[in-house]
Structure 1
Amino acid sequence: MKKLIKNAIIVTMNEKREIIKGDILIEGDKIEKIAPTIVVEDAEVINADGKVVIPGLIQTHIHLTQTLYRGQADDLELLDWLKERVWPLEGSHTSESNYVSAKLGISELIKGGTTSIIDMGTVNHTDSIFEAIDESGLRAHAGKCMMDYGVGVPATLMEDTEESIKESIRLLKKWHGKSNNRINYAFAPRFVVSCTEELLVKVRDLSREYGVMVHTHASENRGEIELVQKDRGMRNVVYLHKLGLTGEKLILAHCIWLDEEEMKLLAETGTRISHCPNSNLKLASGIAKIPELLEMGAVVSIAADGAPCNNNMDVFQEMKSAALIQKARLLSPTVMPAQQVFELATIGGAKAMGLADKIGSIEEGKKADVVIVNLDKLHCYPSDEVDVVSRLVYAAQASDVDTTIIDGNIVMQNRQLLTLNEKEIMKDANRLISQQIKRANVKK
C-alpha cells in the first residue's frame, strides 16, 4: 500500500539543502512525490503535522556483535579494552548470543532514527547477525571480522588465513544483495595489527573482484600506530595505500593519529572516513582532525562504534559531540556548524556506503528511508525563529524519533518497534550476558 506523510517540515538534504512544508508520497520502496499538498486514494496516511521529516540517518562504523557487552569494558585504554575484555567476550559468542546482541543494537538504532549502517561482526556466527538485520528491516553493509595474526588474540578468535577468506566468501555469496539489495557484504579485516599482509592483499583482490567494500579500523590509538610502524615498517594509512587498499571501496574507522601525508592520501584517493567522536573520547584515543580533512575534500561520515566503548548507539549524541569537540579543540565556535555535521549523518554516510544516488536525502526517486522526528518537547523549545537543523544537531535526542521507515516499510511507529520484540530482546540480553561472562572467564 502507498504511504502518504502529510503536513511535514521536510529537511530534504537535497543539493540545495531545501527545507519545505509539505507531503511525501511513498510507493513501494521509493519516494514517489514531494509536494506542498498531495491527494491520492488508497494510501496509508501518516500525519506529521508539526513534526520534522529527515532522511534516514546513517552510521558507518558499528559493532552489533558487541551490543551485549555494554558496560562490560568501561574505563580501559583501547588495546587493554580489546585484550582483557572485548576479545574474550567476542570469542565466547554462540549463534544465539550473537543474534540477540545484533537485535539489541538494531532495536536501539531504529528507535534513534538510524536506517543504514556499516557493521563489523566478530569472527564466528556471522550468519546470526545477517539474520537479525534481515528480520529487522535495517539497511546494512556487513561482514565477518577477519583476524589471522597478532599478540593477545584469544584462540577463539584466531583464524587460519585461508579459512577466514573461505568463510567470508561463503557469507558474501549467501547475503550480498539480499532483501531488495537492502543487505550487502563488506569484507572486514579488523585492523593491521591483527591481520597478515597475505590476508589484506587477498581482501583487496576480492573487493575488486566482487565490487564490495572493505571496512576496517585505522590510526585509532597511538599504541596501535607504534605496533604497525614496528611490524610493517611504515605508518598505518601509508601501509594500506602501499597494498592498494585505499580508495572509494575502503572505509576506515577513526583516523585520529594521521600525519599530513596520510591526510592527503585519504582525501586524494577518496577513501571513506568514519568519525566516532564519543568512542574516541571514552577510550581517550584522541580527537580526529575532521575539519581539516573536510577542507581537504575527504569523504567523512559518522557513527557510534559499539556499545562497550560509547555506551550507546545514539547518532544524535554523536552529531552534537562531533560539533562541540572541534570547537573546543580549535577554540573556534564557527567550526563544524550544524549543517555540516548533519551532512555527515545523512548524505555523507550515503557517499561512504556508495549509495548517494539512493539514500541520504529526501528526493523523488530515491529510496524511502525517512524518519519522523517530534521536536515538540521542552528541550527543543522555543521552536519559532530557530533553525531546524540546529535544533536537530544541538537539542534533539534519539527519544524524539517518532517513526522510522526503511525501504518503504514502517519499522517503528509512535515509538513502537514493529519488526522486533523489544521486551523479549531485553530479557534475552540479561540472560545471555551472564552466560557469556562465565564462558569467557573474564573478571572486572
Structure 2
Amino acid sequence: MNRKIIIPKEIITVNNSMEILRDSFIEIENGIISRIDKLKNIDLNNYDGEIFRFQNLTLMPGFVQTHIHLCQTLFRGLADDLQLLDWLQKRIFPYENNHNANSLRISAQLGISELLMSGTTTLLDMGTMNHQEVVFEEMIESGIRGFSGKCMIDENDLFPTFKETTEDSLKSTIQLAENFHNSANGRIKYGFAPRFVLSCSEGLMKETSNLINDFDGSLYHTHSSENIGEIKAVRRKYGKENIEYFDSINVLSEKTVLAHAIHANEKEVDLLKKSGTRVAHCPSSNLKLGSGIAQIPRYIEEGISVSIGADGAPCNNNLNMFTEMRLASLMQKPIHNPTVMDAKLMIKLATIEGAKALHLSHEIGSIEVGKKADLQLLNLEKANHSMLDGDENLYSSIAYAADKSDVVSVMIEGKWVVKNGINLVYDNSQMMATGKVELHKLLNRAKIN
C-alpha cells in the first residue's frame, strides 16, 4: 500500500465549515485522503509510510478551472487588443484551423504545464476541431484531471474554411467520447463542446446535448452571451437572446457549463437558476476583450453555480487562478460595494465550487477524508504576504496577494507533479524550443502576418 503523511504549517480544508487546521496532518493511502488528525494523535516514529514535513508551507486543495482552451496556448500574445468577433475571425480561427498534431501537442503541453505550476489540478477544456485526440493523450500522460472535447463547428460565417459537416462533427465526437471518456481510471472525462451559437446549427446543438445521456458523467460545454456584437448576431439569426435560445432548444441543464454569461436579462437569469446551468466566469478574458463584467454577485445570490476559468492564453494572457480570483473580486467592488466577493468566497469559487460545477465535489475540491489527494502547497512566508497567521489573513493572502510563484509543490491523486518548484512532468527548455519551431510552422501555414 502506498501511504504518506503530509505535515504542513496549516491546512485550508475548504470543507463545509471552512476549517483551517493547525498542528495537524493528513494521511494519503493510494491517492485518497484516509485520515486528517491532530499531530498529538499519531506516533510518527513507528509510521511505516513516507513522512513529508512542510513547517512553513500552507496546504490547500488544488484549483479547479472550468473554462480553458489548451489548444490556444501556443497563440499567446498573437491576438491582443481585438474585440471578440474580430479576435476569432482575424486570429484564432485561422490559427486553430492550421494546427497539426505536432503544434497542438506542444500547445497542450505548454498549457498543462502552466496550470500545474500554478496550482491547478483539474480543468474543463474546450478543444479544437482537428487532432483532438492529441489533447486527450497529453492530459492522460501529464496526470492532470479534467474534461475535454472536440470543438464542434458546422457553420462559420466568420472563417468559412474552419468547419465541417454536422454528420462528420457528430461522428468524430462520438468516436472520441467512446475512446477517452472515463479514461485513465476515470481521471479524464468528455465534455461535449459545440463552440457557440454562431458556429453551430440548431441540429448540432440539440444532437450534442442528447449525447451526454449516453456518456454518464460527461458535460455540455459551450460559450454564451460573451459579447454585445455576438448577442446582436444571435438575435438577428434566431430572434432570441442567447440563453433564451438555449432554453428553446432544451440544452440548459445541470450538466451544462456556459462560459461567460456576461449579458443576461432577467428572464435569462431565471432560466439559469431554474435549469441548474453552471456559469464559468472568466474575468481576465472578459476585461481584455472588452466584453463586459458579468453579474456574478447576482448569480451567486440567486443560487446559480459560479466557478472560475482563465479561458485561453491569447485572451488573458495567463492561465493563473490567483490572477482570476483577484480580478473576480476587485472588478465587482466599484459596481456594488467593497464587501462583495470577499476573499473566502474567492477561495471557494476556485476550488469546491469548481468541483461542484463539474459534478466532482464528492471526489475533489476540498481536503476531506475519502476525497482524492489533489493538493497544493503554498509558501506564504514572504514579505508580500500578511505578517499575521489568522484565518482571515490566510484567505486574504491567497485571494489578493498570492501568485503562481508561491506554489511550491502540487500533487494529483497522491502523486507529485510539481515538487519544490520543479515541474516533474515537462521540461521547460525543451517545451520552449519545440514551441517556437511549431509556432513558426503554423504561422507559415496560416499565412497571417
Q: Which category of TM-score, normalised to the shorter sequence, fits these structures?
A: over 0.9
Q: What residue number does 2:9 align with?
A: 8
Deviation at 1:44, TM superposition (A): 2.3
| 2:428 corresponds to 1:427 | no
Separation (CA, whole Å) in 1 of partners of 2:270 and 2:346: 21
Q: Is the 8 A contact 1:91 1:154 kept in 2?
A: no
Deviation at 1:5, TM superposition (A): 0.6
Corresponding residue to 2:271 among 255, 265, 273: 265
Q: What residue number does 2:69 align with?
A: 63
Q: Is the 8 A contact 1:87 1:154 kept in 2?
A: no
Deviations 1:362-410 (A, max 9, x none): 0000011111111111211423455211110011101100111111111
Any idea what SS the aligned residue of 1:23 has? strand
Any idea what SS the aligned residue of 1:301 has? strand
Corresponding residue to 2:406 among 400, 405, 430: 400
Q: What residue number does 1:43 align with?
A: 49
| 2:28 corresponds to 1:23 | no
Deviation at 1:149, TM superposition (A): 0.6
Q: Is the 8 A contact 2:281 2:306 kept in 1?
A: yes
Separation (CA, whole Å) in 1 of partners of 2:210 and 2:274: 21
Deviations 1:239-279 (A, max 9, x none): 11111111111000000010011011101211000000000
Q: What residue number does 2:294 align with?
A: 288
| 2:437 corresponds to 1:436 | no
Q: What residue number does 2:131 align with?
A: 125
Separation (CA, whole Å) in 2 of partners of 1:262 and 1:432: 42
Percent identity reads 45
Q: Is the 8 A contact 2:113 2:425 kept in 1?
A: no
Corresponding residue to 2:195 among 181, 190, 197: 190
Separation (CA, whole Å) in 1 of partners of 2:9 and 2:144: 23
Deviation at 1:205, TM superposition (A): 1.1
Cα distance 1:154–1:45, how it changes in 2: closer, same or farther (>3 A)? farther
Q: What residue number does 2:280 align with?
A: 274
Quick one: which amino acid aligns to residue 207 of structure 2? K
For residues 31-430 of structure 1, the aligned pairs below 5 Å read: 31-37=33-39, 38=42, 39=44, 41-155=47-161, 157-211=162-216, 212-330=218-336, 332-385=337-390, 387-430=393-436
Deviations 1:401-437 (A, max 9, x none): 0111111111110011112222211111111111111
Any idea what SS the aligned residue of 1:230 has? helix
Separation (CA, whole Å) in 1 of partners of 2:16 and 2:77: 41
Q: Is the 8 A contact 1:11 1:20 kept in 2?
A: yes
Deviation at 1:209, TM superposition (A): 2.4
Deviation at 1:327, TM superposition (A): 0.3
Q: Is the 8 A contact 2:219 2:256 kept in 1?
A: yes
Separation (CA, whole Å) in 1 of partners of 2:214 and 2:241: 27
Q: Is the 8 A contact 1:185 1:213 kept in 2?
A: yes
Query: Which 10-residue stretch deviates more, 185-194 or 6-15?
Result: 6-15
Separation (CA, whole Å) in 1 of partners of 2:292 and 2:51: 47
Deviations 1:85-141 (A, max 9, x none): 011000110101101100000000000000000000110010111111111100011
Q: Is the 8 A contact 2:373 2:412 kept in 1?
A: yes
Separation (CA, whole Å) in 1 of partners of 2:52 and 2:382: 20
Separation (CA, whole Å) in 2 of partners of 1:253 and 1:150: 19
Separation (CA, whole Å) in 1 of partners of 2:389 and 2:209: 51
Separation (CA, whole Å) in 1 of partners of 2:210 and 2:8: 49
Gaps of 5+ in 1: none
Gaps of 5+ in 2: none
Q: Is the 8 A contact 1:146 1:189 kept in 2?
A: yes
Q: Is the 8 A contact 1:88 1:154 kept in 2?
A: no
Separation (CA, whole Å) in 1 of partners of 2:377 and 2:399: 15
Deviation at 1:8, TM superposition (A): 3.2
Q: TM-score, normalised by structure 2?
A: 0.96
Q: Is the 8 A contact 1:121 1:143 kept in 2?
A: yes
Quick one: which amino acid aligns to residue 111 of structure 1? M
Separation (CA, whole Å) in 2 of partners of 1:56 and 1:399: 15
User: Alignment length, in residue pairs?
Assistant: 441
Q: Is the 8 A contact 1:186 1:214 kept in 2?
A: yes
Separation (CA, whole Å) in 2 of partners of 1:112 and 1:270: 30
Separation (CA, whole Å) in 2 of partners of 1:42 and 1:87: 55
Any idea what SS the aligned residue of 2:395 has? helix
Separation (CA, whole Å) in 2 of partners of 1:328 and 1:432: 43
Quick one: which amino acid aligns to residue 5 of structure 2? L
Q: Is the 8 A contact 2:8 2:59 kept in 1?
A: no
Deviations 1:131-177 (A, max 9, x none): 1111110001110100001312241x211111101111111111111
